[in-house]
Structure 1
Amino acid sequence: MTEFKDGLPMPRRLWAMAVLMAGLALVSWDMAAANVALPDIATDLNVSPGLVVWVMIAYTVTVLVGILPSSAVAERIGFRQMYGLGSTIFMMGALACAFSTSFSMLLIARVVQGIGSAMLMSLFGGLVRNIYPMRQLGLGVSLSSLVVGVLAVLGPAIGAFIIELSSWRWTFVVYTPVCVALLFGLRALPDVPRTSKRFDWLSCGLSMITFGLFVVGLDMLVSNLVWALGFLGVSCVAGWWLFRRAGRQEAPLVPLDLLRIRPIAFAVSASLASFASQMSAMVALPFYLIHMLDYSYGQVGVLLAAWSVGVASMAPIAGWMSDRYRVAILCIIGAGLTGAGLIWTVLMPLDSPHYAMLAPMVLSGIGVGFFQTPNNRAMLAGAPRRRSGAAGGLQATTRVLGQSVGTALAAIAFQLGGDNGPVVSISVSIVCALLAVIINVVRHFNPTPDLQL
């Protein structure tokens, strides 16, 4: 099938985007809904709450260490083939989760599911880059952000509804028809040209050690400082070796060649700060709203949904604007609104009714939506088309890494802050949002133009 130099023609573009958005919805739904199932999993498999969180940790670590190797493999075997393989492995892992009879079996199944998820996540950015023409790339990125925003709201609600009607196992079974539909839709995806370069197995192993031990070390900083420092030390050594090796390669597994492109380097730095800000806030807000403001769980659910509604509603507008205006200005506004919403939140009187918190929550969400689409567009548009797979993998890795850093910062804030831990964690989130603003101010005044404009 003939491919096109600047995006797919209509109506094939619509079919390709439908397949991509279904896969994105699948992964986003799983990450949002699995958290809801943790209490039932702990009861059914007779494990402690402290142990059951490894259902999420095992999945997150697997996704993080798998994204960059998956994007490198995809550039060699083809995006379509990787999308089909990822969908199949994700489905097998989900079914294994559903039929797990022990906690250890469930953890192994979640690792398998995480491998499939990493394969899919490594492709989303690169596929958008090849589905849409450059002049409409912001639209494609905004639709992806819209799906993530909507599923962030609906995922936990759908998961809770399924558990209410049956059991936690069905939250994994329901992925099967979506995965089957993805397999039938593969032909709609663009068949991106492949590279003939050999796969770098040593860099793959170093990448897994670097990112895997980094996340585990961050998670253990509060609970076991000695082991945490050991893991972080090994991660730093492996990372030093990995980056030295990548610096001598033309198209390395860790895309240092892309990070040398200044607009992409700015986008990655700002994205790390932004996702760290979001995750630190998401960890802290339930504790702040429940324990310090005495809101009910239902009221907190409404407020967090308001944040996600702000993200989803702003994504299409930001997509339209990102095709017309400079990235730095839009990102300064977005990160600034996020920080302003969080400052507004902590300055509200402790006896404020829950509906008074809707405005700062929506404002923060609008800021996130206004930031993500232009910044992600810059990351994808700044890369050569032949490296679109690596750019997509870099985008996904940056997101997961930023979220992991944000979670660790929140844990440290809770440990150091005592009873005021939630406020300290939200303050950390504000600082990260401010850092994203500063990075984009530097980007705006840098003489190198944004490559996508």
Structure 2
Amino acid sequence: MELFSDKPGDEGLKGRERCLAMLAVMTTTSMAVFDGSMVNIALPQIARSLAISSSDAVLISNSYLLSTAMFLAIFAAFVKQVGFRVQFTMGLSVFTLASLGCALSTSLPMLVGMRLLQGVGAAAVLSIAPAILRSIFPNRLLGRILGVNALLIATITAIAPVFGGTLISILSWQWLFVINVPFGLTALLLTQRAMPRKQTNERESFDVLGGVLSAVMLGAFIMTANSFSHAGEGGISTDTLFTALLYAVVSVVAGVLFFRRQKRVAKPLLPLVIFSSTRFSLAALTSLASFVSQGIIFIALPFLFQNVYGYSAFASALLFTPWPVGIILAAPQAGKFADRYSAALVSTIGLCIFMLGIALLALLPANASIWDIGFRSLLCGIGFGCFQSPNNRELLSNVSRENSGYASGVLAIMRTFGQCLGGAFVGVILAQYALSSHGESAHLQMEAQGVRVSLWVAVTATMLAIILSFTRLKALNKSFKEV
């Protein structure tokens, strides 16, 4: 393969070492991204196994995404202190051991704690994966390998629910985590064999305080929403409101202090200059709103399919299949159109199709057929496939080359934090509807209503993304008027 061929003057590693290092990165990336999505399909089964409510089960998914989002920016900067091999090995080890801990968990607090540790390990490796690929591949192959990595993440995110549903239909939910152990050990061996060491002996200053403030800001913001999922029988109590308000204040204060510090510190954790580009900022916000929608859908639909429609976990997984098919059909064409026309325009059209698909899912009748559900999921996949790659192109192309690493970090944070926030919304909504139910029949009916309300919230979030995306088109107004 050309990716592993050697030519005179090539930077990075030699062909064989390059292949081994790439396999370590790709295997670990696959594990980390899989765990962010495939567990969602098992949430109803895990809830029954641990005898917990649906809203509490959402914490199993959200805790992983939350800790990943909180630590992405920190590890992206911390790698300059220890180097690729040390951080990658530490992150992969934590992730693998925490996966085993998840499989052995017998209670919700233990499982959530292990998921938090998993997220820390995932953040350590995901934050530097593109940078490692850049260091081990020569410049002549850089675009190709980064494209392969982006395709891998998009494909895994889409097929994870299908894989997870297939696995738990054969084995128990614990195997969703056990399967990480052999892959993690293999990746560790490959890492020790071929991962490049630190490039320089000079240590750059690390903004420890900035890292703490960013983690507190993001974590407290999510906990503000999660507070409402623990309302008692009487609904939202004074204590719940006080707790939510406290988290909100902590998030705002930490956010203000973080952004002030980034303006003053010599080596900021996140250079604010990248947000001076309006198109970059709007692309980032559009990505955030769209992934809030995706986070809502990927968590809400398994409860609808399994608890309301009565499908098995395997059948529910098959119902997700049209989504990745839609992405595969649409994404390559969207990329070509984004090269020829406005990337912002292509992504906006994709968002409109995506919103239509979500609305149709929210309007599913009580006796919906598999084909009916599949068509609506396919429409969502086509819309998201049309949106994502052009929007990523818009985001990355509107920062300077020296800040491209930070832009990639922002993109990862928007994706992970958006999915986490979407999951928090589902947890809050399901908790509030569960309070209104008495008896199993009424509970299922109210849960169905809660899922549909969640889907309409996803429609609203997508509408916000459309507005943000459409704002980018103002620069093209003159062209449109001339036409």
* TM value normalised by structure 2: 0.77
In the superposition, relative to structure 1, how do residues 282 and 140 fare at CA in structure 2: closer, same or farther (>3 Å)?
closer
Name 1:370's counterpart in structure 2. 386
Q: 206-215 or 247-256, which moves further after superposition?
A: 247-256
Counting aligned pairs with the same residue, the percent is 29
5+ residue gaps in structure 2?
Answer: 1-5, 231-239, 437-445, 478-483
Cross-structure match for 1:180: 188
| 1:126 Cα offset (Å) | 4.4
8 Å Cα contact 2:326/2:385 also seen in 1: yes
Inter-partner Cα distance in structure 2 for 1:3 and 1:152: 44
Per-residue CA deviations over 1:127-171 (Å, capped at 9, x if unaligned) read: 56775545986565334312332334223423553438x867634
Which protein has the larger Cα radius of gyration, Structure 1 or Structure 2? 2
Match of 1:335 in 2: 351
- Correspondence for 2:204: 197
| Deviates most, 430-439 or 73-82 | 73-82
In structure 1, what is the Cα distance between the partners aligned to 2:459 and 2:58? 26
Query: Once structures 1 and 2 are overlaid, which stretch shifts more, 217-226 or 418-427?
Result: 418-427
Pairs within 5 Å for 1:264-343:
264-289=280-305, 294=309, 296-297=311-312, 299-343=315-359
Which residue number in structure 2 is paired with residue 122 of structure 1? 127
CA distance in 1, matches of 2:254, 2:425: 23
Matched-pair contact (CA < 8 Å) for 2:26–2:149: no
Structure 1 residues 379 and 404: alpha-carbon distance in aligned structure 2, compared to 1, 3 A threshold: same
Does the 8 Å CA contact 2:41/2:164 hold for their aligned counterparts?
Answer: no
Tell me what 1:451 maps to. none
The one-letter amino acid of 1:296's match is Y
Displacement of 1:57 in angstroms is 4.0
**Structure 1's 103 and 286: CA in aligned 2 closer, same or farther, altered over 3 A?**
closer
Structure 1 residues 289-331: Cα deviation after superposition (integer angstroms, max 9, x where no partner)? 5677x45245443222322332344444444554554320221
Q: Partner residue of 1:236?
A: 252
1:96 positional shift = 4.1
Equivalent position to 2:219, from 187, 209, 212: 212
**Structure 1 207/406 Cα, relative in aligned 2: closer, same or farther at 3 Å?**
same
- Give the Cα–Cα distance (whole angstroms) in 1 for the partners of residues 91 and 207 of structure 2: 20
Report the Cα distance in structure 2 between the residues aligned to 1:8 and 1:329, rounded to whole angstroms: 39
CA distance in 2, matches of 1:319, 1:8: 30
Q: Counterparts of 1:54-453 in structure 2 under 5 Å?
A: 54-98=59-103, 106-126=111-131, 133=142, 140-163=149-172, 170-184=178-192, 186-187=194-195, 196-223=203-230, 224-249=240-265, 251-289=267-305, 294=309, 296-297=311-312, 299-347=315-363, 349-414=365-430, 419=446, 420-446=449-475
Contact 1:126 1:390 in 2 (8 A): no
Paired residue type of 1:441: F
SS in 2 for 1:199: coil
| Structure 1: gaps spanning 5 or more residues | 449-453
Whether contact under 8 Å (1:142, 1:316) holds in the other structure is: no
The answer to whether the 8 Å contact 2:64/2:118 transfers is: yes
Change (3 A) 1:2 1:220: farther
Aligned partners of 1:19 and 1:217: how far apart in 2?
A: 37
TM-superposed deviation, 1:339: 0.7
Distance change (3 Å), C-alpha of 1:322 and 1:124? farther
Provide Cα deviations, 1:380-436, integer angstroms capped at 9, x if missing partner.
Answer: 344444434422322221112111222233345556777433332222211222222
Comparing 220-229 with 384-393, which one deviates more in the overlay?
A: 384-393
The alignment partner of 1:210 has SS state of helix
Distance 1:215 1:67 in 2: 16
